[in-house]
Chain A
């Protein structure tokens, strides 16, 4: 396991923590927590063989969050001195004083065990920030050169996003955690035209909680097979540009994990966040049809549907040791045998509905889903790695080919592209990188202009089969948005290939009035 970054540990962490928490306690805070964070971001963009832009950004600062007079108070600062830490604590208390006049339901936090002086570092081999920019640029330039010299590719772009996040958390109960995470999102896109038609195709490689080894390492070292994708994308793009427009209507689909992860994210991940289900996001990200009164009763999908929340999954983007309220992370069921059985919780939400996840004493317990994306933002309930589980049948379950063999006339959907879902997570519409035609169980070319549109429970209810563990892949995104002010979070979702019957396929050209 890599070490915690010594340059972070050299910051006056303990002095700031003591000053902030001490001042909050002096002023009578019922609860106070302190976070010092340093998040480094790096972006490298290449287009058609030339470096287009590269930038490094560092977000360093601290935050004090209090419960005072039954209300939240939050303040953040960037000057790393004890005097400023005290001042920020005073500001948080002052904000709570203002908030208390409008807070009609006093803030409660689920009680949690104390974790004193614990550390945690994510699983990676090579810190991408230790790799020279020139080396990264050379890789991306090579990708675009290789792509744009392939037949049919006119332009090619490649990018790399890298994040290195170190957090120190402490609260008045004595919990004190220091953690470090690394994540990486490399990718490329090839663009081409054919007559009046233009299109593009992107790599399927997902963002991961890994280091530079994901780009240059062997599969055994955690590397992705970039050569295979660079080889096949131009061929598939040319095929797509020449493909016929899709025939709309109810269609059987086999969906690859590179597409299904996003449908899981939108229609299950967000729908089972308790803060949304209770209306906390009603003015922004929206609420949920999956309300707590339906727990144990809501038929979310077919009996083969088993969905888990997990913040302990190795290389998952939402994986960490302890959340931003000092709660040890964990894994649990959200949908079992097609029925809603669980929610994602932070401490305030767990306290609101203790029966959802009771501890031994009957008090509600968080399942470790608090997260803030920067020192300047307040922690809120964010998504765990929410994943659809593969078929547990002895013998390994179906392969993707075996699922395709069950389709007489349908589509095989690969890669994510466009996504949209309504404010209660009912109605969604997704496109993909490619929609392959399936005839009599065989993949026979592609179609263009396709999107699938459905209502969440109907869609998951139409899931006839899930593939076995060999089809299961972890995908995800860096840019899940939620809250006001807006925060982004990285999250992974695992899925097997899965077979759906009779899903509504749209022809997007017809939707636009072009046909």
Chain B
């Protein structure tokens, strides 16, 4: 198998910048390769290796018009698959023309790298000249044979395995007419496996994140699933109600991602989110959570490292194309229980009078002084529920950020500090913001993977397990 045909992404960037007749221009090249395997019922199903090159051209042009009639800077963004200079030139021509036909952008600001604008310590990445980093099906060279062995063990144990592994490496190049030449390599990998008994009466799940699959053992996954399916040997049916509930790190990641996703400064400032203050403004500075709770992002975070600069292909409530290249650093969203910051662009920061705190592609929840593991939380619980993960989480009431969703693939009864059986699934209605106020126990923070959002959107999280004394299980789900 040979490597995919590639063009020099740096050349695409330089050609795009040269070809643009706009006042300013940003060219973003994302070269990504992806390899995955999927299985069901102890046999492989679909799989594949994909390569893509997406080029985004953002053009900036001074135009007349605008609310004051004084004119301003318009922007336009055009993206597409481009693998040669002609392809990039076509995107540039479209972006330039579209910007000229547009109206002044409300989020206009000096481009990063220009005089008077904040910028990175160095406008040129040290590895700018390096080629894209690929992945291939070979990333599963050791995983695949072991997966085949895991299928065999599952069959002999009357169990069925269903799962997916995915590895993606995206190399991003950002160039601007103001001198930026930034490069970032982002490996993203994850695994997940659902186990069922052959009668399909119970199910369990394991999953997590990885950068290279060197640390993923299919046989260990199968063994964990076998243990959990075994827990269902005693089945206990419980009604809806409020339960002392242990949320494992994956479930906490699901809920904290929701809390973060809805933390846009503009929406809060305009009175439309749980982070809005009445009658106006935001709740920044207000206590939302228990003392000692910290929710933060850091591009240099251990095991969750991500791009250290803003890459914005289009503008919206929480993103501005003018901010591309802005350096990202550790940002505390909740500090010692108080709301400390919201997701900002320079435009929304000016609206709200708060610091510029752009979104970062990872999220960490830490509880000061929390120690121990999920098992320790179980050991300390007299009677409660241990969840495996959550699913189909959706906003019900933006006013409180009330979410609904379901437990999935294993709810276990904890009695006297031990797991004593499996319980039916439930639908829950809860607010993640409120949970941060009500939880009673937390484990140490660990690398986690959101089952709901990790696959295709937000995979870099670190969270503790939380024990909530009165988690609202609104109704019973018959799903097994």
Q: Does A78 contact B (CB under 8 A)?
A: yes
Q: How close is B456's CB to chain A, nearest CB, in angstroms? A: 4
With A102-B39, A420-B404, A423-B406 already in contact, the answer to whether A54 and B50 are too (CB < 8 A) is no
The answer to whether B79 touches A511, judged by C-beta atoms less than 8 angstroms apart, is no
The answer to whether A94 touches B478, judged by C-beta atoms less than 8 angstroms apart, is no
Q: Does B420 contact A (CB under 8 A)?
A: no
CA distance A509 to B472 in the complex (A): 12
With A61-B52, A101-B148 already in contact, the answer to whether A418 and B78 are too (CB < 8 A) is no
The answer to whether A51 touches B397, judged by C-beta atoms less than 8 angstroms apart, is no
CA distance A51 to B156 in the complex (A): 61
Type the 1/0 row for A364-401, where 1 means its CB is closer than 8 Å to any CB of B: 00000000000011101000000000000000000000
Q: Does A332 contact B (CB under 8 A)?
A: no
The answer to whether A512 touches B397, judged by C-beta atoms less than 8 angstroms apart, is yes
Partner of B52, one of A78, A99, A424: A78
Q: Does A219 contact B (CB under 8 A)?
A: no
Q: Does B434 contact A (CB under 8 A)?
A: yes
Q: Does A72 contact B (CB under 8 A)?
A: yes
The answer to whether A87 touches B4, judged by C-beta atoms less than 8 angstroms apart, is yes
Type the 1/0 row for A417-435, where 1 means its CB is closer than 8 Å to any CB of B: 0111111101101010000
The answer to whether B272 touches A427, judged by C-beta atoms less than 8 angstroms apart, is no
Q: Does B344 contact A (CB under 8 A)?
A: no
Q: Does B296 contact A (CB under 8 A)?
A: no
Which A residues are CB-close (under 8 A) to B144? 98, 101-102
The answer to whether B455 touches A380, judged by C-beta atoms less than 8 angstroms apart, is no
Q: Does A105 contact B (CB under 8 A)?
A: yes
CA distance A79 to B87 in the complex (A): 11
Which B residues are CB-close (under 8 A) to A55? 76-79, 313-314
Q: How close is B169's CB to chain A, nearest CB, in angstroms? A: 14
Partner of A91, one of B49, B166, B397: B49
The answer to whether B52 touches A376, judged by C-beta atoms less than 8 angstroms apart, is yes
The answer to whether A453 touches B5, judged by C-beta atoms less than 8 angstroms apart, is no
The answer to whether A57 touches B79, judged by C-beta atoms less than 8 angstroms apart, is yes
With A53-B315, A99-B47, A282-B162 already in contact, the answer to whether A58 and B80 are too (CB < 8 A) is yes
CA distance A77 to B3 in the complex (A): 11
Which B residues are CB-close (under 8 A) to A380? 46
Q: How close is A419's CB to chain B, nearest CB, in angstroms? A: 6
Which A residues are CB-close (under 8 A) to B148? 101-102
Find the A residue at minimum CB distance from B136. Answer: A91
Q: How close is A409's CB to chain B, nearest CB, in angstroms? A: 23
Q: How close is B363's CB to chain A, nearest CB, in angstroms? A: 20
Q: How close is B427's CB to chain A, nearest CB, in angstroms? A: 5
With A51-B102, A101-B145 already in contact, the answer to whether A423 and B408 are too (CB < 8 A) is yes
CA distance A315 to B431 in the complex (A): 39
With A61-B81, A289-B478, A422-B406 already in contact, the answer to whether A83 and B194 are too (CB < 8 A) is no
Which B residues are CB-close (under 8 A) to A72? 44-47
CA distance A43 to B429 in the complex (A): 33
Residues of A197-230 whose CB lies within 8 A of B: 197-200
With A102-B43, A512-B431 already in contact, the answer to whether A91 and B98 are too (CB < 8 A) is no
CA distance A455 to B425 in the complex (A): 13
CA distance A48 to B54 in the complex (A): 31
Find the A residue at minimum CB distance from B105. Answer: A51
Type the 1/0 row for B158-182, where 1 means its CB is closer than 8 Å to any CB of A: 0010111010000000000000000
Which B residues are CB-close (under 8 A) to A419? 394
Which B residues are CB-close (under 8 A) to A191? 270-272
Q: Does A360 contact B (CB under 8 A)?
A: no
Which B residues are CB-close (under 8 A) to A284? 164, 192, 455
Q: Does A486 contact B (CB under 8 A)?
A: yes
With A76-B51, A98-B144, A451-B396 already in contact, the answer to whether A485 and B106 are too (CB < 8 A) is no
The answer to whether B404 touches A91, judged by C-beta atoms less than 8 angstroms apart, is no
Q: How close is A149's CB to chain B, nearest CB, in angstroms? A: 15
Interface class of chain B by DSSP: strand
Number of interface residues of A (CB under 8 A): 95
Partner of A133, one of B42, B101, B472: B101
The answer to whether B397 touches A427, judged by C-beta atoms less than 8 angstroms apart, is no
CA distance A427 to B480 in the complex (A): 12
Which A residues are CB-close (under 8 A) to B405? 420
With A55-B77, A426-B479 already in contact, the answer to whether A283 and B427 are too (CB < 8 A) is no
**Which residue, of A80, A484, A504, has the highest number of chain B Cβ atoms within 10 A?**
A484
Which B residues are CB-close (under 8 A) to A407? none
Which B residues are CB-close (under 8 A) to A422? 391-392, 406, 408, 425, 427, 477-479
Find the B residue at minimum CB distance from A103. Answer: B44
Find the A residue at minimum CB distance from B140. Answer: A98
The answer to whether B427 touches A429, judged by C-beta atoms less than 8 angstroms apart, is yes
Q: Does B302 contact A (CB under 8 A)?
A: no
Q: Does B126 contact A (CB under 8 A)?
A: no
Type the 1/0 row for A504-515, where 1 means its CB is closer than 8 Å to any CB of B: 101011011110
The answer to whether B472 touches A513, judged by C-beta atoms less than 8 angstroms apart, is yes
CA distance A212 to B81 in the complex (A): 25
CA distance A496 to B105 in the complex (A): 43
Type the 1/0 row for A91-110, where 1 means its CB is closer than 8 Å to any CB of B: 11011001101111100000
Known: A133-B101, A427-B478, A485-B166. 14 other contacts (CB 8 A): A52-B316, A54-B102, A55-B78, A98-B140, A102-B39, A154-B271, A191-B272, A198-B271, A198-B276, A282-B162, A283-B193, A420-B392, A453-B474, A512-B400
**Could you list 16 A-B pairs, sorted by A, with CB under 8 Å?**
A72-B46, A73-B48, A90-B1, A102-B144, A104-B42, A154-B271, A197-B399, A280-B40, A286-B479, A376-B50, A378-B46, A484-B164, A506-B429, A509-B397, A509-B400, A512-B434
List the interface of chain A (C-beta within 8 A of B): 43, 45, 47, 50-61, 71-81, 83-84, 87-88, 90-92, 94-95, 98-99, 101-105, 132-134, 137, 154-155, 191, 193, 195-200, 278-280, 282-284, 286, 289, 376-378, 380, 418-424, 426-427, 429, 431, 449, 451, 453, 455, 483-486, 504, 506, 508-509, 511-514
The 4 closest A-B pairs by CB, nearest first: A74-B48, A58-B80, A53-B315, A282-B162
List the interface of chain B (C-beta within 8 A of A): 1-2, 4-5, 7, 34, 36-54, 67, 76-81, 83, 94, 98, 101-103, 105-107, 137, 140, 144-145, 147-148, 151, 160, 162-164, 166, 192-194, 196, 200, 203, 205, 270-272, 276, 278-279, 313-317, 319, 321, 391-400, 402, 404-406, 408-409, 425, 427, 429-431, 434, 455-456, 472, 474-480
